[in-house]
Structure 1
Amino acid sequence: MIKKETDWFQAWFDTPYYHQLYDHRNETEAEGFMLNLIDFLQLKQGSKILDLPCGRGRHAIFLNKCGYDVVGADLSANNIAFANEFANGSLRFTQHDMRQSLNYKYKAIFNLFTSFGYFDEDETNIEVLKKFKEGLEEDGILVIDFLNINKIRKKLITTETVQKEDILFKISRAIQKEQLVKTIEFEADEQQFCFAEKVRSFSFEDFERMSSLASLEIIETFGNYDLEPFNHVHSDRLILLLK
């Protein structure tokens, strides 16, 4: 029997297989991105930063090592349990749904690695932006690291297989009903699994519209982790700074 999950972002991210599939993520690239951001934002040592969602905490841990007071928040209980092994007096982790209000205000909120647009309705995604805004200090900055849907549309890899240790992941991608859908099928622990990652296919113009409705202003855009200018056609990423 194939196991299908309705709340993909809650079920899939909470499995060990998710981390197994994505274990190739480049730590050097991630740390370079963080250094570029904190340098551009001129964040002072000790500033309060929120990483939401934080996954297993790789960005939050590095930011804390750079001298910041960091909170990592994620919906996955397993991720938070893992990340809590690295907690200290200036690095804390908590389970949190980004649709809910934040308890504190931060100098910067980081929403990284295409962690926005999980929800089908525009209203819910706009509500997430409003929650982020409420969690910012008066002069705080929100950073959203999203994909460049214009490039994805032209160069979409529709099918591929990825071998990770003893698991063969069969992956297919399609753009359906304003969503980028990535279906992942595999066999593990004598079970068949099927998960579908679904992210809204938001463009820069969509973010402009939603940000305005959430009383946020886009003040800067970048097209990659080196913070080079965003190009609608060629950039790999759409990185937004909002206040």
Structure 2
Amino acid sequence: MNKSTEQWYASWFDTPYYHILYKDRDYDEAQGFMDNLTKYLNLPAGGKILDLACGKGRHSVYLNSLGYNVTGVDLSEQSIEYAKQFENETLKFNVHDMSKTYPDTFDAVFNLFTSFGYFDDEDCNLKTIKSIKAELNEYGFGVIDFMNTNYVVENLVAEDIKTVEGIDFHQKRYVEDGYIIKDISFEADGEQFEFQERVKAFSLEDFETLFEKAGVHLLDIFGDFKLRKFHSKTSERLIMIFK
């Protein structure tokens, strides 16, 4: 059952296995990142944040606990259904395609943890940036946190097996046609599964071109979650602040 369909993320992110494979992600580090980011942006108390591609909402929930009014959106209906259990007066979740403009404006729009570049249609990437621009209020900031492609390609582990909850996830990684691709195969519940993750290998220059086309201004670039300087060869992340 090969699910490397055009919208690979729609099928893979909606499986329970996606969440099993990545369940040990470092959330302390992620929370530290959000502490640093909100302090750096100096967001107003009770400020409004839009969390684009929020998944199951863990980061939205944390941002809300810091006192922000947060809206989390994601294309995955199952993820949003799960996230809705955390809703309160100042925390809302909705199914939404980030390449379309959300009908509200915010003090900040966050697109975190390499949740960009999934679209096969190039135009959708530009539309996403234009949508972020339209979603920002007069004082608002856009933030895209992407992998540093140079670093990732340089340090790509071609093949490994990761065992989580008794499932052996066979992972193969390679670069093809400008995409960083990961093939994931495993057996679970008596069935053989194959999925593929494809993320466009955007460089800083690629983003700069998109920003220019969308009419937004790049203000700052950081290379890690502690918001240290970006180095194209050694930084793990490419974190861009724009408006």
Question: What is the TM-score normalised by the length of structure 1?
Answer: 0.97
Identity of aligned residues (%): 45
Alpha-carbon shift at residue 52 of structure 1 (Å): 0.7
Partner of residue 115, structure 1: 115
Preserved contact between residue 3 and residue 11 of structure 2 (Cα < 8 Å): no
Preserved contact between residue 3 and residue 192 of structure 1 (Cα < 8 Å): no
Query: Could you list the per-position Cα deviations for residues 5-53 of structure 1 after superposition, in whole angstroms to 9, with x for gaps in the alignment?
Result: 4121111111110010000111110110000000000011110101011
Preserved contact between residue 48 and residue 108 of structure 1 (Cα < 8 Å): yes
Partner of residue 202, structure 2: 202
Distance in 2 (CA, whole Å) between partners of 1:68 and 1:182 is 35
Aligned residues: CA RMSD:
0.9
Secondary structure at the aligned position of 1:4 is classed as coil
Query: Structure 2: where are the runs of 5+ without partners?
Result: none
Bigger mean CA deviation after superposition, 121-130 or 38-47 = 121-130
Matches within 5 A, 1:14-163: 14-163=14-163
Question: What is the TM-score normalised by the length of structure 2?
Answer: 0.97
Distance in 2 (CA, whole Å) between partners of 1:207 and 1:3 is 31
Asked if 1:240 is matched to 2:240, the reply is: yes
> How many residue pairs align between the two structures?
242
Amino acid paired to 1:108? A
Query: Could you list the per-position Cα deviations for residues 47-105 of structure 1 after superposition, in whole angstroms to 9, with x for gaps in the alignment?
Result: 01010110111110001000000000011111111111110000000011112221111
Partner of residue 9, structure 1: 9
Secondary structure at the aligned position of 1:142 is classed as strand
Query: Structure 1: where are the runs of 5+ without partners?
Result: none
Distance in 1 (CA, whole Å) between partners of 2:120 and 2:77 is 23
